[in-house]
């Protein structure tokens, strides 16, 4: 089985948090995981009056804010994760940094959280706090734009897993994770790879059979990867935009989960490659980036 001893569920009490909790509950029950539920309070901008009245007044405001968060978290757990042994935590600071740091310090095996809308600067580029976590987290991240629509935990099933490979150095890890998860859940696995779609001007510089050559090379690489991992999954190679190709096959196969890889390289387009967030935004089902 996959080593999912510790699962982290960050919640912000938005309408998307219950759906993420349903998936976290399903996974924690299946893998007998230690489920941690974390709420991060953004840094407070205390009113000027608190400073004028001294440190004690600011401390009181912080205590009240923290106590309210603890109460809200207890209500959330009781409502969405009843009768489960759950560790509840409240922290204060930048949400993405706190979540990533906690996951690293506590050796978390999986983070489950929904996506949100765009924000300023880096979040505008990458998509949200979720995107920053995708970029920085070392463990797999389970997310999706449709998580808010998740059925109750007891109704969640996994029948078909789609593993999207870019055939980079981390593809073995991605395929291994997808294959093992499918074995754990009794699901089928399919592999998809998107080859580049060149326009007419670009194609003129290549051999007329460049498209066939690329597809054959991709099929050979997939066969090599499957041999190394010991898998025998059905595979598809399609020319086109990666996010659109993955969406097409996820829909066609009625996939319950898409598994993609993240590079271990540093830099803005290291862990979160250019296509990864687009795939997550367009996927009709949850996506786990490994």
Same domain? 146 vs 261? no
Cross-strand partners of 289: 141, 260
Torsion angle of the four alpha carbons 61, 63, 66, 72, in this order, in degrees rounded to the nearest 10:
-90
Same domain? 13 vs 80? yes
Question: Final residue of a domain: which of 155, 172, 188?
Answer: 155
Same domain? 219 vs 265? yes
71: its two tokens: 């109460």
Q: From CA 162, how far away is CA 155, in angstroms rounded?
A: 20
Question: Final residue of a domain: which of 112, 136, 155?
Answer: 155
Going by C-alpha positions, the residue among 280, 273, 183 that lies closest to residue 232 is: 183
Range of the structural domain that residue 108 is part of: 1-155
Alpha helices in 32-128 (DSSP H): 48-52, 55-80, 95-105, 122-126
150: its two tokens: 């998740």
Question: Final residue of a domain: which of 132, 155, 178?
Answer: 155
Going by C-alpha positions, the residue among 33, 40, 34, 35 that lies closest to residue 11 is: 40
Q: What is the pLDDT of residues 249-267, one digit of tens each?
A: 999 999 999 999 986 554 4
8: its two tokens: 């982290």
Q: Is the dihedral of CA 253, 289, 283, 199 positive or negative?
A: negative
Strands 234-239 and 188-195: parallel
The mean pLDDT values, 10 residues at a time, for the chain of 290 residues are 97 93 98 98 67 58 87 97 96 95 98 70 52 92 92 96 94 97 98 81 60 91 98 96 96 98 57 76 95
pLDDT (0 to 100) of residue 120? 42
Count of the separate structural domains present in the chain: 2
CB 238 within 8 A of CB 232: no
Same domain? 143 vs 163? no
DSSP-based three-state secondary structure for 112: strand
Q: What is the pLDDT of residues 204-253, one digit of tens each?
A: 555 667 778 889 999 999 999 999 999 999 999 999 999 999 999 999 99
Domain CATH code at residue 96: 3.40.50.620
Same domain? 114 vs 221? no
Same domain? 122 vs 186? no
CB 7 within 8 A of CB 33: yes
Same domain? 255 vs 140? no
Going by C-alpha positions, the residue among 215, 165, 216 that lies closest to residue 192 is: 165
Same domain? 66 vs 140? yes
Same domain? 138 vs 1? yes
Same domain? 150 vs 168? no
Same domain? 125 vs 163? no
Same domain? 134 vs 123? yes
């Amino acid at each position: 089985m996959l080593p999912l001893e510790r699962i982290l569920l960050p919640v912000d009490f938005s309408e998307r948090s219950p759906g993420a909790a349903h998936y976290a509950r399903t996974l924690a029950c299946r893998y007998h995981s230690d489920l941690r539920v974390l709420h991060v309070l953004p840094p407070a901008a205390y009113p000027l009056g608190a400073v004028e009245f001294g440190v004690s007044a600011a401390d009181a405001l912080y205590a009240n804010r923290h106590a309210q968060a603890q109460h809200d978290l207890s209500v959330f757990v009781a409502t969405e994760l009843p009768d489960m042994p759950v560790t509840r935590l409240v922290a204060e600071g930048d949400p993405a940094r706190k979540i990533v740091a906690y996951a690293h310090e506590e050796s978390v095996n999986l983070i489950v959280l929904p996506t949100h809308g765009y924000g300023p600067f880096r979040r505008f580029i990458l998509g949200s706090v979720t995107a920053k976590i995708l970029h920085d987290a070392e463990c797999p991240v389970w997310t999706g734009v449709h998580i808010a629509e998740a059925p109750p935990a007891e109704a969640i099933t996994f029948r078909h897993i789609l593993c999207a490979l870019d055939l980079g150095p981390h593809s073995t890890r991605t395929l291994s994770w997808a294959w093992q998860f499918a074995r754990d859940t009794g699901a089928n696995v399919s592999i998809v790879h998107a080859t580049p779609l060149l326009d007419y001007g670009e194609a003129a510089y290549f051999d007329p059979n460049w498209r066939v050559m690329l597809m054959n090379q991709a099929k050979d690489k997939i066969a090599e990867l499957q041999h190394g991992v010991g898998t025998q999954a059905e595979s598809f190679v399609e020319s086109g935009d990666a996010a659109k190709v993955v969406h097409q096959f996820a829909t066609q196969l009625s996939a319950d989960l898409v598994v993609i890889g993240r590079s271990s390289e540093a830099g803005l387009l290291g862990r979160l490659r250019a296509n990864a967030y687009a795939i997550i935004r367009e996927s009709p089902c949850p996506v786990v980036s490994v």
